[in-house]
Amino acid sequence: MENTQESTTDFVQEFPVMDRWLQEAVDEGFLAGLDGGALMDLLEWVECRERATKAVRCGVLAAVARQSVYGRGAVQDAATEVACALRISERSAQAQVAEALVLTRLFPEAWGGLAAGRVQVTQVRALIETTSALDDAAARDVQERVLGKMGEQTPATTRRALSRAVLKVDPEGAARRHEAARKDRRVAHYPEADGMGTVSATLAAEQAVHAMAVIDAHARASKQPGDARNLEQARADSFYQLVTGCQKAYPPAVVTVTVGVDTLLGIDQEPGDLVGYGPVTARTVRRLAAQKDAVWRRLLTEPATGLVVKSDPYTYRPTADVRRLVSARDGHCHFPGCAMPASRTDLDHVVEFDHRRPERGGLTTAQNLQALCRRHHQLKTHGDWSVRLSATGVTTTWTAPSGRRYETVA
């Protein structure tokens, strides 16, 4: 029998997630009738239920990863479908599947504590992360030293206890790992909502503390009487000024923006797409386009079909214009849930290109091309996933090894 998403409804009806009493507890009238003590009792009870549910979830994920259909790699292959089913990123799914396998195999006692509601998910995760570089025997030794007190600790306290236990169990290894970790020092940028971004630096602990002290001192010194900024805002301003040496809000920069001409002309307010960030407001696009060093590049398309003009659909490799159009259209890898920027992906023929008789189908057109990161491109070419293009050329349907189907829209 073919597995489809529709079967989920029958499953939930047969095995309801929440019992009737818990459903009643969601009602505001029910909650209003409880005093403070009863509400806290209820909160603790719900928390225990949630922890138990998380323990079951780990068991399910581990069982999924052990299914024979994911024969080429239990974590990677299973996580691919988990990401689709739960609508999360593939990286997050891989982390969750790997975490579940480690917890159920190496730390059954901690898993049991989670199921009983005695320990928190964050504590269990800290145990797994802190012992990831240890051998099995040493990792279990760390668990034995810390698990008994976890139920009385906060996650931060547990993490400190785990760090101490690792140093006691494997002091020489800890020193080696620190020296190796220093080689992974880096700076990264993470886009945030509402036109903001986060810049983070991974440094040796002492360097991080020193850097933060310098930023804090600079921020405090910069605050003059009448300065309306709070200290956190002042720290952010000081960080930017110390790194760039620039006092302006917007220093000169090179950016790539995809935008419709009507937006540039102010006819509509459709957002543009800022490469490296995502959608930005029409006002931001127009401001960027108005800068003196802005360089404009246009794509000419045939209005009825959207095909790029001066492209040859019967050649295997797309033209630069077609590549730019597909990258701008898709924005990211076209596999369900993947967020790899299109600029870092391959262009894949949805319907395979016929090298001997190109006119038979699989044309090199924007409608038959999709941006796929290297992993998902190889998964389609050599894996157990299949993809089908809709008759309109707008929707692609991916079929997983389990038989479940997932759709993406251009």
| Average confidence (pLDDT) over 388-408 | 77
Contact present, 371 and 327 (Cβ < 8 Å)? yes
CB neighbour class for 410 (10 Å; exposed up to 12, middle 13-18, buried from 19): buried
Q: Please say if the pLDDT value at position 56 is more than 90.
A: yes
pLDDT band at 307; cut points 50, 70, 90: very low
Whole-number Å distance between alpha carbons of 143 and 158: 11
Least confident of 18-27, 144-153, 239-248, 347-356: 18-27
Predicted pLDDT of residue 2 = 39
pLDDT band at 391; cut points 50, 70, 90: low
Q: Give the count of alpha carbons within 13 A of 170, CB side only.
A: 22
Q: Give the count of alpha carbons within 13 A of 20, CB side only.
A: 0
**Residue 134 backbone zone (phi > 0: left; psi -120 to 50: alpha; other: beta):** beta
pLDDT band at 183; cut points 50, 70, 90: very high
H/E stretch holding 138 reads: helix 136-150
Q: What percent of the chain has pLDDT over 90?
A: 26
Stronger pLDDT, 85 or 299, i.e. the higher one: 85
pLDDT tens sequence across 223-270: 889 999 999 999 999 999 999 886 654 444 345 677 777 777 788 877
Predicted pLDDT of residue 61 = 95
Whole-number Å distance between alpha carbons of 333 and 79: 17
Predicted pLDDT of residue 3 = 42
With a CB cutoff of 8 Å and minimum separation 6, the contacts of 103 are 58, 62, 110, 111, 124, 128
Q: Please say if the pLDDT value at position 304 is more than 60.
A: no
pLDDT tens sequence across 257-303: 777 777 777 888 777 776 656 667 777 778 777 777 666 665 555 55
- Mean model confidence pLDDT for the chain: 80
Stronger pLDDT, 298 or 107, i.e. the higher one: 107
Cα dihedral angle (242, 247, 253, 259), rounded to 10 degrees? Answer: 120
Three-class secondary structure of residue 32 per DSSP: helix
* This prediction's pTM: 0.60
